A = this chain, B = another copy of it.
Amino acid sequence: MYHFKNDYSEGAHPAILQQLILTNNTQQPGYGEDEYSLAAKNILREKTGNPDADIYFVTGGTQTNLLVISALLQLHEAVISAQSGHIFVHETGAIEALGHRVITAETENGKLHVAGIEKVLQAYSLRPHMVKPKMVYISNATEIGTIYSKKELQELSAYCKSHKLWLFMDGARLGHALTAVNNDLDLADIARLTDVFYIGGTKNGALLGEAIVFNNPGIAPDFDYVLKQKGALLAKGRVLGIQFLELFKNDLYFDLARHANQMAKKITEAVNALGYTFLTGSTTNQIFPILPKTLIKKLAEKYLFFEWKEIDEQHTALRLIMSWATEEKIVDEFIADLKKG
């Protein structure tokens, strides 16, 4: 059986494990003050074109989201998310547990847009009987595999700035977004257009780890306290620093994401060639082909995947996720099995 269920089924890219071994015996200060963390932050500052960025490494996406949102919002302030946003659907109310409502807004292709945010602001205007929307949370790539264009992000950014809303990008799969064939954004654009974002490592080759980037260092001057208070400050911060250093010193991060996208593209093309359609227009590493149930039953004998949504009596949309570790050989086999029908 081969997993297409997620992009965190394997360990880490071998180059990362190799670095853990090579650096293992050096004595380093704790709590993120080690030389590897400092070097990795400098590389990210360069790549984002922002020498003043405040950068922190943490262990997972839910942790990242709750840290950033809690640090930036007062208790009476709320965050606006897509209905499909990870903070709304899959984080066990982590944001509410810290005191903040998550307000959902309309989306198009899984993406927030100005009109949807505007409606929220209007609906939440009866001060002080309603919470105050104060942040917009977007994911790139989105939960359905789509990506924001530069124009879309510019519009959101301008709207947020003019309405005093923080713009926070969840980049659990940022590598996959930035290496998608139709992408026109880079790290520097994102740093310029958002207040804070994160670069996901767990789903793109690291053992664990996400990099939080505050583009404006003044908005969370006490974030180190927040990290520690929420249990997110590792004694051996080196574990995260070493991994991000390895991922970014030669752009391994983007190579890995590109591979995952490429594997998804191969399947996408095969699905299209066979005349099947997709639930969403994904160009990244997770795709949602709509297949006959009879075919799905056969595929399920060899492959693991989520049956995402029943479409009609004969068809279901699957979710297939490719990763840095997905073997092309197996993808080819899967395509062959698809063709057999």
Chain A positions within 8 Å of B, measured between CB atoms, are: 2-3, 6, 8-12, 14, 17, 20-21, 23-30, 59-67, 70, 74-76, 78, 89-94, 96-102, 126-132, 202-203, 207-208, 222, 224-236, 238-239, 325
CB-CB nearest in chain B for A26: B10
Return chain B residues, CB-CB under 8 Å to A207: 20, 236, 239
Contact status A235-B208, CB under 8 Å: yes
Task: Please classify the interface of chain A as helix (H, G, I), strand (E, B), loop, or mixed, using the class held by over half of its residues.
Answer: loop
Contact status A225-B76, CB under 8 Å: yes
CA distance A191 to B172 in the complex (A): 38
Contact status B60-A130, CB under 8 Å: no
Contact status B94-A96, CB under 8 Å: no
Which of A25, A93, A225, A227 counts the most B-chain CB atoms under 10 A from its CB? A93
Return chain B residues, CB-CB under 8 Å to A226: 75-76
Contact status B70-A93, CB under 8 Å: no
CA distance A70 to B24 in the complex (A): 34
CA distance A65 to B239 in the complex (A): 21
CA distance A6 to B239 in the complex (A): 16
Q: A75-B229, A78-B93, A97-B99 are in contact. List 8 more A-B contacts (CB 8 A).
A: A9-B28, A9-B29, A10-B25, A92-B128, A98-B99, A128-B224, A132-B225, A208-B239
